[in-house]
Structure 1
């Protein structure tokens, strides 16, 4: 579906144009066309390929979707794939998860084509931002690519914050004597979501590095410092993800240690009570032997004396175990 198709010249908006007029505008000097599509049909992509002369391999990747984040050069053009990570809140029937959309950006000297798939988050704010900064928009399609990348990367920060807040809640649950199995389940769900974000950030960080250092593509030559800012943000996000993963691993070990300690307390209580009842059993076993030469068996107060001795011994053992913290 076509979202918009706009022509720009010298950093200013010329007009909203029809798809059929694209070739007329990209032929003008210092003019470029910015087209935005959402979940396009194959016919729409084929039309854009014809208008902009897109490389067939890049178009094939955009048509199939589910690509790894990357930045590829095709002659004088760039093909950029980025993931859109959108949180989905937990419900009564499902756990919290992520919807992973995709935005494919084709960038040439006189055009920008963004193709958004499986996502409800648009980029109208990015277009408005670029139009409010005509001096930067004079840099052409390279600045538009920066603005799109910056918008995608900025959307990762709230996701990181939400993961950190949830991780703190799980850590508190571990030390509040909550259900251990529930804590471990939440921790592994957090780890899974962190890995989804990791798969979106790490490859993009690797590819974005070549847009500001070394042999920079001609399209990005006037916006190198802005791409350096994007790389800096990606590095911070990647570091936060690694920190979250390490904290989750530590929390899992702590949770298992808490379970072991709790099991040890139960074992000590069982051992203490078993020792007390073992004394009762020992006395009963001694006086239960059928020997005739056991004078206390025929003593009038032998039964009461035996009960008293058993009770006193068990009482002393209970006191000692209580003092030791086993009961």
Structure 2
């Protein structure tokens, strides 16, 4: 579906144009065309390929989707893929934005995502002196908008992790629930990691060293995006390590609790084993046993059993087993 199709000249918007007029303005060196599509059909992509003379392999990737973040060069055309993430009950809904960048055009194809980029267009139009840099600056603005949307996800992950950490040490905590939530957090961290790490490599190729000609005038801005991605990647590594530690702590607490239960069971088993031993000795069916003729033999036996069990109970209690 076509979202927007406009032509710009010297940093200012001239007007919206029809798709059929794209090739006419692309042929003009003093203009550049900015087109935005969402969930484009094969027919729309084929029309854009004809108007912009897009490389077939890149169009095929944009059509099939499910690509990892990447940057590819096809002559004077750049093709970039970035991931868009939206929170969902199961984790994240994964979408993509495919960007075609040429000398005087930029085409974005957004798939499986409802997050619009109208704010990016408005931001660029409010800065005509920067928009004069052409499609390379618009490419930066789009990448910067995608990266900025990762920061709230990081904040949400940190908040959820702190809540789980508090529940780990709470009285009556449910270890299984904590483990499930921690593994859910870990899956979300890894999903975000898979979006950030390759994109960090992409941003690194757009500043310093051999920079594509389209992005030379904007490479300082791409350096800023790269710095943001480094911060996000470091935060994700910290979150992943913290989650791993929390899982280990939770399992250790479960082991400690099981050890406490085993000690209590062992203590009571020892007490009842002593009582059983005495009862077994006096319960043997021998004819000549001295206690059988004593008037106080039975109460004495019960008292000895109770006394011994009481001593053992106090010893176990003092040792912290009961």
Aligned to 2:113: 119
Aligned to 1:72: 72
- Deviation readout 1:206-240 (Å, 9 max, x if unpaired): 12211001011111011111000111111111111
TM-superposed CA distance for 1:205, in Å, is 0.8
Aligned-partner Cα distance in 2 for 1:181–1:29: 63
Do structure 1's residue 97 and structure 2's residue 94 form an aligned pair? no
Aligned to 2:134: 140
> What 5-or-longer segments of structure 1 have no aligned partner?
91-95
Aligned-partner Cα distance in 1 for 2:51–2:174: 60
Aligned to 1:56: 56
Match of 2:268 among 258, 273, 283: 273
Q: Which moved more, 1:46-55 or 1:19-28?
A: 19-28
TM-superposed CA distance for 1:291, in Å, is 2.4
Match of 1:221 among 207, 216, 235: 216
Do structure 1's residue 108 and structure 2's residue 102 form an aligned pair? yes
Match of 2:144 among 125, 134, 150: 150
Aligned to 2:281: 286
What secondary structure, in the 3-state scheme, does the structure 2 residue paired with 1:102 have?
strand
Q: TM-score, normalising length from structure 1?
A: 0.96
Aligned to 2:317: 322
What secondary structure, in the 3-state scheme, does the structure 2 residue paired with 1:308 have?
helix
TM-superposed CA distance for 1:312, in Å, is 1.2
- Deviation readout 1:136-185 (Å, 9 max, x if unpaired): 10100000000000000111111111111111111112111411111111
> What is the count of residue pairs matched by the alignment?
321
- Deviation readout 1:11-33 (Å, 9 max, x if unpaired): 11110111111122222232100
Conserved 8 A contact 2:91-2:187: no
What secondary structure, in the 3-state scheme, does the structure 1 residue paired with 2:205 have?
helix
Do structure 1's residue 164 and structure 2's residue 168 form an aligned pair? no
> What 5-or-longer segments of structure 2 have no aligned partner?
none
Aligned to 1:93: none
What secondary structure, in the 3-state scheme, does the structure 1 residue paired with 2:37 have?
strand
Aligned-partner Cα distance in 1 for 2:203–2:229: 9
TM-superposed CA distance for 1:292, in Å, is 2.8
Do structure 1's residue 201 and structure 2's residue 196 form an aligned pair? yes
Conserved 8 A contact 2:8-2:33: yes
Aligned-partner Cα distance in 2 for 1:260–1:101: 41
Aligned to 1:18: 18
Aligned-partner Cα distance in 1 for 2:298–2:255: 44
What secondary structure, in the 3-state scheme, does the structure 2 residue paired with 1:211 have?
coil
Aligned-partner Cα distance in 1 for 2:267–2:19: 84
Aligned-partner Cα distance in 2 for 1:171–1:230: 32
What secondary structure, in the 3-state scheme, does the structure 1 residue paired with 2:3 have?
strand
Aligned to 1:184: 179
